[in-house]
Amino acid sequence: MDICTLSATDLSRRMAAGQLTARTVMEAFLDRIAALNPGLNAIVSLRPEADLLAEAEAMDRLPRRGWLHGMPLAVKDLVATRGLRTTYGSPLHADFVPEADDLIAARMREAGAIFIGKTNTPEWGQGSHSYNPVHGVTRNPYDLTRTAGGSSGGAGAALAARLVPVADGSDMMGSLRNPAAFCNVYGFRPSWGLVPQDAEGDTFLSTLTTDGPMGRSPEDIAHFLEILAGPNPGTPFGRTAEPYSDLLTTGIKGKRIGWLADWDSAYPVEDGILELCRGALAAFEDLGAIVEPIAAPFPAEDLWDSWTVLRSAITARAKRDLFDDPAKRALTKPETLWEIETGLTRTAADLFRASEIRSRWYATAARLYDRFDALALPSAQVWPFPADWTWPREVAGRAMDSYHRWMEITVPVSLIGLPCLLLPAGFGADGLPMGVQLFGPTGSDARILAMGHAYHRATNWPSQRPPVF
């Protein structure tokens, strides 16, 4: 039995039954990390082996604490972890060791996880390519010359290579959806507020980013989501979690999916992506669902206008000190400085206009869900690109006017905080993975996961084409 290839659900079940010890599991994953991580650079700040084995042995002696009991996990390097180096990909924090966990890290610990290290991310999580001056670049398990995406690129690569059983990600502009697609795994962006923020800074206006689970199956994601989700009394807009892992067997027959393709050509997409993604949705049709092409329901340029205003303003608020302090500015990536500088020009009128556009799109999407159970879009506009790029300057012959314009196809979901499951869609002609965004109305997390579960049982792409080194 290859322990590292077991699903997280099966691994947890076997550990609970006493068929596997935490030490045995830890040894297996550490051996695999030693063999494969040097070529990937997915896991960073790896703790000493002796410390991890001792902690695993201690967990074997303790009463079972939760679904993650004794499992080795690497936490995204944007999440503060008590006693474990957290760099945010920035040289300004290269040696930072937090004294306390962020909320989701605390919830993982409470459920019994053993933190082995961190997963790599872009500097400050900005841009969908995981490279930074502290840890370097994370590479794609399916082609080591290509990017694993970002900002949860280390998580996506580690999952695909079977270096961890599940992983946490975060998503503002596709930051867990893009790497999941590029690495042939699943990623779930929950309804905004289901996985709450920490009670720090602004928690009323900053509603674009959320943490979420990543895994090699929707079942693993459902179990992990039960740990991460649930209100934080110190923050607004909290949502009550459901028993997602018990709600996965909903039937697919008769479900209606609206296929938005490239949003009536508003989003340039590289050759082969639309065809692969539409072909992947045929699995739903084989299960009795109806997939219907639909016209773009809202002007893409309005969505982009709203998004860029809100994103830059939030970034400027959160990171202005990086811009104002010359010493910090010298150690900050140009894309982050550009976001801050742009955000500082936003007026109150700009913010209200952006919010009004956002509100109109939310109402428009709600009417679409009177007709459809879910909507679908490609996960990305490009195939995994060379790892030595910073970002794609051109997509399908169209110049990109910012470092994140090539990720624009994720904005319809992100702008209004809809639940979205990234489905692996298969592989292109050159063997690179791609994925499909399946998203529903606010609060439909259980339904979207159940649809994904049926899709996974019919396709199981992560096991059909495991990465080859």
Q: Choose among 406, 404, 467, 412: nearest CA to 437.
A: 412
Cα separation of 442 and 440, whole Å?
Answer: 7
pLDDT value at residue 466: 87
Helices (H), 325-467: 326-329, 334-343, 348-368, 411-414, 445-459, 461-464
Alpha carbons 240 and 254: distance in angstroms, whole number: 28
125 contacts 88 by C-beta, under 8 angstroms: yes
CA distance 382 to 272: 10
pLDDT along the chain (469 residues), means of 10: 96 98 98 98 98 98 98 98 98 98 98 98 97 98 98 98 98 98 98 97 95 98 98 95 96 96 98 98 98 98 98 96 97 97 98 98 98 98 98 98 97 98 97 98 98 98 87
379 with 435: CB under 8 angstroms? yes
What is the set of active-site residues? 76, 151, 175
pLDDT at 1: 84
> What's the pLDDT at 250?
86
Predicted pLDDT of residue 251: 87
66 contacts 107 by C-beta, under 8 angstroms:
no
Alpha carbons within 13 A on the beta-carbon side of 175: 26
Domains in the chain, please, with CATH? Answer: 3-464 (3.90.1300.10)
Q: Which residues contact 393 (CB under 8 A, 6 or more apart)?
A: 399, 400
Q: Which residue in this structure is represented by tokens 């990390």? A: 33
Report the interhelical angle of 218-228 vs 8-16 (nearest 10°): 70
Question: What are the strands, taking DSSP E only, across 78-226?
Answer: 114-119, 131-132, 136-137, 139-140, 143-147, 167-171, 186-189, 210-215
In sequence order, the β-bridge partners of residue 438 are 376, 421
Determine how many CB atoms are found less than 10 A away from the CB of residue 271: 10
Spatial separation of the C-alpha atoms in residues 427 and 429, rounded to whole Å: 7
Q: Kindly report the number of other CB atoms within 10 A of residue 138's CB atom.
A: 34
CB crowding 319-336: b at 16 or more within 10 Å, else e: beebbeeeeeeeebbebb
Number of H helices, E strands in the chain: 15, 17
The answer to whether the beta carbons of residues 173 and 410 sit under 8 Å apart is yes
- Tell me the C-alpha to C-alpha distance, in Å, between residue 116 and each of 22, 124, 202: 13, 21, 31
Nearest CA among 182, 173, 91, 89 for reference residue 139 = 182
Length of the chain: 469
Tell the residue number behind the tokens 């982009």, with chain if given: 304
User: What single DSSP character describes residue 83?
Assistant: T
Quickly tell me which residue has 């930074």 as its tokens.
132
pTM of structure: 0.98
- As to burial, measured by CB atoms within 10 angstroms (0-12 exposed, 13-18 middle, 19+ buried), residue 190 is buried
